[in-house]
Amino acid sequence: MQLWQIKAVAAIILALFLFVAYQWVTVDAGNKAVAAYVVKQAEAQAKADKLTKDKYDNLEAELIVAKATRKTVYKTVTKTVDKIIDRPVYKTQCVDSEGLEAANKALSGGNANELF
């Protein structure tokens, strides 16, 4: 092998080594960028989760306070109603004689209001 052939092979090996090293560095840098992005997103999500948890904890505390201040009050209302019986016949019968006449008149087709 001649000297120029050895130098050519050495140059090719050097170029190949530099190419592989460049690819390794750029891929590694890309992986680092992706890793940094993932870490940043995870931190942002953790912060949002903490804010949401704090919000719901505050709402829960307010609910507990509201339940503690609420009180059930039972009231008994008693009313006196005057019972007026105009005709004592209704205690034993549903209709008195005047009512029976009005019902018969209405059934026969007449005007039951004429009786009153």
Domain boundaries, the chain: 3-78, 84-116
Q: d(Cα 91, Cα 31) in Å, to the nearest integer? A: 99
Alpha-carbon span 99 to 43, nearest angstrom: 89
43-68 pLDDT per residue, tens: 999 999 999 999 999 999 999 998 88
Average pLDDT over residues 76-90: 72
Distance CA 40, CA 60 (A): 30
Complete DSSP assignment for 17-51: HHHHHHHHHHHHHHHHHHHHHHHHHHHHHHHHHHH
pLDDT score for 79: 84
Contact 112, 103 (CB under 8 A): yes
